[in-house]
Amino acid sequence: MIHPSYNELHDVITSERENDDPLLSSRYAVCTATAKRAEQLIRGQEALSNIKSGKPLSIAIDEIYTGKVKVLSEEEAEKALEEASFGSENED
């Protein structure tokens, strides 16, 4: 059996949300978010989790399950990017 199960992973993602965003409440969204993080790892981003398996998908699942990586809706991601770029402009 795979651990964490889909239901456990889904509960972690939705428990961190203030509103009940249907975009992140589907199995498809959870799988897509996990696959996107695995792709980032394959492309060379540093892993935030130290698990025995070196497989990118296993690492991505662990990162999301342990809260090291947050799953955001498109609107939240755009807002975070804007805030990050605005913050870097003020550092100059």
> Where in the chain are the domains?
6-90
Give the pLDDT confidence score for residue 2 in this predicted structure.
62
Q: Is the pTM of this model over 0.75?
A: no
pLDDT by residue for the chain (92 residues), tens only, comes to: 467 887 888 787 777 666 655 556 677 888 888 899 999 999 999 999 888 878 999 999 999 889 898 887 778 888 888 888 876 555 55
Give the pLDDT confidence score for residue 28 in this predicted structure.
82
Q: Is 38:56 a contact under the CB 8 Å cutoff?
A: yes
Exposed/middle/buried for residue 59 (C-beta within 10 Å: 0-12, 13-18, 19+) = buried
Give the pLDDT confidence score for residue 1 in this predicted structure.
44
